[in-house]
Structure 1
Amino acid sequence: QSLPAGAGLHIIQSFEPVPLYAVMADLGFQHETRERDGVFHVYFYKTATLANGEAADVNDAFKTIDARQEDPGSFLPSVITQAQSMQQGEILHIIQSFEPTPLYDVLGKMGFEYQTEQDANGDFHVYFYRMSAGPSEDEIAEAASLSARMSEYIDVEPERIEALIGIVQAFYDGEDVTLLRQRFETEIGTISPVEFAFLEQKMTELGISDAKFKARVEELLSIFKRSLEKAKTPEFPPGHPIHTFKLENKAIATLVEEMRAMAQAEDPADEAWWQEALDKLWQVNIHYVRKENQLFPLLEKKGFDKPSKVMWELHDDIRAAIKKARKLLDAGDMDGMLAALPTALDGVMDMIFKEEKILWPTSLSMLQEDEWIAVRRGEEELGYCLIDPPPAWPPEAHTPSAPAQKSAVSPTKTTRAKAKPFTPSSKKPRATVGAIALEEGYLTPEQISLVLQHLPLDITFIDEFDEVKYVNHGEQALMADEETVAAFKAGALNETTSWNEEGGRFVYHTLIAIRDTEGNYKGILQVTQDVTDIRALEGERRFLDWE
């Protein structure tokens, strides 16, 4: 009796509770019954009245995704997309051949509770119930603090922001987008990039979760798009991060137009053309990684954390869409690839609009020149998307020189700081904030550096131009002679090994040709390891047998 219209009630019983059907019907509930292994699950749904006067059907609130045959790479994004569109009281039923544990945390943050059951066939049935679609009081308080901090670095008029908030609230209350666009253009007229960015930052304060904002951001943008399209970013000299980002966007847009034209052609090229095109398109990942690691952390420090949260997730959606198209092409499914391609291309172009018309102008308003110099300083390590490396900026800046070469091999020694007990912080950091998206998973630059430093072997990387670019344990001797390098470059050799005794130690060396996904030579990885103690091992030892 206490449940509002649109809410659901899940009853689990060892027998079918038939008497409940009539009783609950009198209280305004419809129901659906499912039996599994002799256990009855009855889902009662309190009928809501639709605008046309008809009663809502229980199936409108009960969504099922059978993911047992679904591509693992698209499983999580498809579930999140469905969940983002669901309202309070609605139920999402996931069927999977394994327990989808990662969903518990992801959907939990979106306001879902869940119950998991396993049937006789070993399949898992997880029922997610949307209990709350909005942020918590603590999240709202934290968001208000961030907005206040952001306001210290931008120039906005409170009266205009309040008027714009009225438009946003009406949008999320369900008012017609066309009418809201007319209202905005009549009553307010314009919106600046910084004003829209500030509205983004205030979404949580307005009770709008990041997931809900992300799910409808394109619709919201359409209200203000005609005004935002007029926004222009000042011109900067070559080498400035904004100049580089914009140059990359031009190259990306050109590639997208070529791919769209080819997809619509009567004879849409062969597989080789599309392989190359998708390889080029994947370079947007470099563009996004530079934003995520060089730009977002600086904005976050000044209270603007929506790029780190929402835009980063949009990057992930685009990356997943490109991977899906590439996987279909690799499987020989040209029609499937062409059908999947628009999602990736549209996502890429929508992101360019958000960058050019909102992110770049807002970032320029919030960051000082010394911060842009810091952004530029880290670019070389991450690389560039579809363009040649830009000149140094400021002009007096120089690229760090390569490590010096040394003539003797030094057995591996890892320098470690004095160990301290681990004390977890009160709040676990978001896994992807400040991290670089790798082929599998994410690592921050600090984590990458620490992993390489703690490897129990010496590694040296020499690029395709024979320059030493990295060593993990100080200076190392170069083992590759001209003949070996020539064989690597010619494609006649991929790996070679050698070993020797030095100072009573047995040292093992490996030279590996580094090649990209198309087989192009990119350099040499030299690995050196002192294996004296390994060669002397006998019997067995467990990890717990430490001294």
Structure 2
Amino acid sequence: MANKMKEFLPKIEMEKMQALQEVEEKYETGLITLEEAREVMRTKVGTIRPYHIAYMEQNLKTGDEDECIRADMRRMMELVEGFMDNSRPELPAGHPLIHYYKENDEMRRLLLAVEDLMQYPVIKNQWLELYDQIRQYPIHYQRKQNQLYPLLEKKGFDRPTTTMWIFDDIIRDEIKESVQLLETGDEETFIAAQEPFIAHARDLMEKEETILYPTSLALITPEEFEDMKSGDQEIGFAFFNVETPSTPDTQYSSPKEGFAEDLQALLSKYGYAAGPQQELDVATGKLTLEQVNLIYKHLPVDISFVDENELVKFYSDTDHRIFPRSKNVIGRQVSNCHPRKSVHIVEEIVEKFRSGEQDKAEFWINKPEVFIYIVYFAVRDAEGRFRGVLEMMQDCTHIRELTGSQTLLTWAGKDSSSDDSDSSVGSAEPATTNPTGDDGNESHAPSLDITSDTLLKDLFATYPHLKKELASRYPSFKMLNSPLGKLILKKATIRTASERSGLGEEQLVKLIKDCL
């Protein structure tokens, strides 16, 4: 990895790196004072860039997973002050890194609010309202882990994946724990948990902005950042929405227009062509490449494939995908696609599949609103050799609710138990009524009857603007746009939504009517 990272960076002077590592370790362990350390910086190290520290951590330090937690960013900044420019880079509007900085700025504001509230007796609703905003922040980590880390790994910099991810998860868990303590009413433990949470969150943000983002700018090309935008949109953003560009950025258009066509013609000359409409021999038939992709696109399940070298090679890109995926995962070591605390499970599955000891591993997520089934299969060729792992994931909520038998055609939105069930296609009925009046304007229905059992999906179907309006007025509802949120929405009622948001039924109903 050392040589690989070096390929993408300006010239690295190894003597300088060795001196930087030595002075940092002596200062961190208290062997020399700050004044002595800075004198060494002046005489033996000189001016450095953020990527120098990243290179040193990647190639000159041991892979201690707890190192990221122990390292105090404040002490590092004291050491390099005046020797390294740590100002924010000037970036074009819409650059992926800008969104990380904006999220950190908002998180810092929220942490100041936490410090302020800690001085007063606990008023539960105030804290719940504050944490409804804070609990959005882990989306920031999801983008880092699925978008930024994979690209850095490809450039030889995998320390963020192996160390920073641990810290990401610690802060995410501290947020979750704080919310649980609030809900159970354990005020003393909740308040005691705030100081370490604030310290951890601020320290990690400083690590990101001092080392991670500047190093990313040095390693990742403008074209790769541009390509990252679609995956960022898929995962989402904390605290704000980012509009999808209506037209692609022509600044980074593909070079040599027509190259794909020329390559296809060359392959065809030697019998290797596989154009969208050319039929391919598959195991039990013939399909064009277009048809293969359409089948994957419409599968009722999500699938992913990891090859025998433990590299992610494929995932199905369906509209109903349960968890967000990013194309940056392709070609990535599967162990780097999971939190550190669950990597050992992934490794055990691969090991037992490879040895032939096991062929299948099942997991499921069982929540009141959703049931998700996950299964892994060992993939073997005709000779029984291990060729990889196939993961299948499915939302089985609806399947588990099925009872009795259904042998007649009944369309979605039509009661299968009704006496007038008809098997003709023309009998299909819309699931919702037309929300517009004769003049084409949406009815605001001031007398709208909303009960505890009213489904949110029915309200959103009748009033298409309502979901976006709720999310803009009350941040907790932004999660409904996530893949998992879309699953929960299938069964979410006013009662369950009020419990999850902390609003209370009466307040939620009032908010909905205000949005109409």
Structure 1 residue aligned with 2:431, among 456, 480, 487?
A: 480
Native 8 Å contact 2:118 2:191 kept in 1: yes
Match of 2:115 in 1: 260
Question: Judging changes above 3 Å, is the alpha-carbon distance between structure 1 residues 448 and 488 closer, same or farther for their aligned structure 2 residues?
Answer: farther
Q: How does 1:506-545 map to 2 (within 5 A)?
A: 512-513=491-492, 515=497, 517-518=500-501
Native 8 Å contact 2:72 2:203 kept in 1: no
Match of 1:163 in 2: 19
- Counterpart amino acid of residue 432 in structure 1: H
Q: What SS does the aligned partner of 1:429 have?
A: helix
Match of 1:429 in 2: 335
- Counterpart amino acid of residue 512 in structure 1: K
- Asked if residue 282 in structure 1 is aligned to residue 146 in structure 2, the reply is no
Q: What SS does the aligned partner of 1:451 have?
A: strand
Q: What SS does the aligned partner of 2:335 have?
A: coil
TM-aligned CA deviation for residue 369 of structure 1: 1.7
- Asked if residue 175 in structure 1 is aligned to residue 117 in structure 2, the reply is no
TM-aligned CA deviation for residue 275 of structure 1: 1.0
Cα deviation digits, residues 294-319 of structure 1 (max 9, x gap): 11000001100001111100101111
Question: Judging changes above 3 Å, is the alpha-carbon distance between structure 1 residues 496 and 281 closer, same or farther for their aligned structure 2 residues?
Answer: closer
Q: TM-score, normalised by structure 1?
A: 0.50
Q: TM-score, normalised by structure 2?
A: 0.52
- Asked if residue 196 in structure 1 is aligned to residue 53 in structure 2, the reply is yes
TM-aligned CA deviation for residue 415 of structure 1: 7.5
- Asked if residue 238 in structure 1 is aligned to residue 238 in structure 2, the reply is no
Match of 2:474 in 1: none
Cα deviation digits, residues 462-513 of structure 1 (max 9, x gap): xxxxxxxxxxxxxxx995313899999945434599xxxxxxxxxxxx9523
Higher relative contact order (CA 8 A, sep 6+): 2
- For 1:439 and 1:245, how far apart are their aligned partners in 2? 32
Native 8 Å contact 1:147 1:201 kept in 2: yes
- Asked if residue 348 in structure 1 is aligned to residue 201 in structure 2, the reply is yes
Q: How does 1:375-524 map to 2 (within 5 A)?
A: 375-390=228-243, 392=245, 396=249, 414=299, 425=310, 429-430=335-336, 432=338, 450-452=392-394, 480-482=431-433, 490=450, 492-494=452-454, 512-513=491-492, 515=497, 517-518=500-501
- For 2:448 and 2:59, how far apart are their aligned partners in 1? 55
Q: What SS does the aligned partner of 1:278 have?
A: helix
Native 8 Å contact 2:171 2:200 kept in 1: yes
Q: Which has the higher strand share?
A: 1
- For 1:361 and 1:288, how far apart are their aligned partners in 2? 17
Q: Which has the higher helix share?
A: 2
Match of 2:286 in 1: none
TM-aligned CA deviation for residue 214 of structure 1: 3.9
- For 1:419 and 1:448, how far apart are their aligned partners in 2? 6
TM-aligned CA deviation for residue 164 of structure 1: 0.7
- For 2:177 and 2:92, how far apart are their aligned partners in 1? 37
TM-aligned CA deviation for residue 379 of structure 1: 1.4
Gaps of 5+ in 1: 1-145, 398-412, 462-476, 498-509, 522-547
Structure 1 residue aligned with 2:160, among 307, 311, 323?
A: 307
Native 8 Å contact 2:140 2:238 kept in 1: yes
TM-aligned CA deviation for residue 346 of structure 1: 1.5
Question: Judging changes above 3 Å, is the alpha-carbon distance between structure 1 residues 358 and 511 closer, same or farther for their aligned structure 2 residues?
Answer: closer
Match of 2:147 in 1: 294
- For 2:36 and 2:429, how far apart are their aligned partners in 1? 66
Structure 2 residue aligned with 1:209, among 58, 61, 64?
A: 64
Count of residues paired in the alignment: 327
Match of 1:109 in 2: none
Q: Percent identity?
A: 25
Question: Judging changes above 3 Å, is the alpha-carbon distance between structure 1 residues 434 and 309 closer, same or farther for their aligned structure 2 residues?
Answer: closer
- For 2:429 and 2:400, how far apart are their aligned partners in 1? 12
Structure 2 residue aligned with 1:224, among 76, 79, 82?
A: 79
- For 1:448 and 1:283, how far apart are their aligned partners in 2? 31
Q: What SS does the aligned partner of 1:482 have?
A: coil
TM-aligned CA deviation for residue 215 of structure 1: 2.6
Match of 1:77 in 2: none
- Asked if residue 154 in structure 1 is aligned to residue 9 in structure 2, the reply is yes
Structure 2 residue aligned with 1:369, among 222, 227, 230?
A: 222
Question: Judging changes above 3 Å, is the alpha-carbon distance between structure 1 residues 149 and 217 closer, same or farther for their aligned structure 2 residues?
Answer: farther
Question: Judging changes above 3 Å, is the alpha-carbon distance between structure 1 residues 224 and 173 closer, same or farther for their aligned structure 2 residues?
Answer: closer
- For 2:192 and 2:25, how far apart are their aligned partners in 1? 35
TM-aligned CA deviation for residue 288 of structure 1: 0.7
The Cα RMSD (Å) is 4.8
- Counterpart amino acid of residue 234 in structure 2: E
TM-aligned CA deviation for residue 391 of structure 1: 5.2
- For 1:359 and 1:450, how far apart are their aligned partners in 2? 33
Question: Judging changes above 3 Å, is the alpha-carbon distance between structure 1 residues 495 and 488 closer, same or farther for their aligned structure 2 residues?
Answer: farther
Question: Judging changes above 3 Å, is the alpha-carbon distance between structure 1 residues 363 and 511 closer, same or farther for their aligned structure 2 residues?
Answer: closer
Structure 2 residue aligned with 1:337, among 190, 210, 217?
A: 190
Cα deviation digits, residues 264-308 of structure 1 (max 9, x gap): 3xx245111111212211212000110110110000011000011
Native 8 Å contact 1:252 1:284 kept in 2: yes
Question: Judging changes above 3 Å, is the alpha-carbon distance between structure 1 residues 300 and 479 closer, same or farther for their aligned structure 2 residues?
Answer: farther
Question: Judging changes above 3 Å, is the alpha-carbon distance between structure 1 residues 448 and 227 closer, same or farther for their aligned structure 2 residues?
Answer: farther
- For 1:213 and 1:418, how far apart are their aligned partners in 2? 33
TM-aligned CA deviation for residue 432 of structure 1: 1.2
TM-aligned CA deviation for residue 323 of structure 1: 2.2
Cα deviation digits, residues 180-236 of structure 1 (max 9, x gap): 5334444334432111111111244xx463334543354762553534884123222
Native 8 Å contact 1:325 1:340 kept in 2: yes
- Counterpart amino acid of residue 152 in structure 2: L
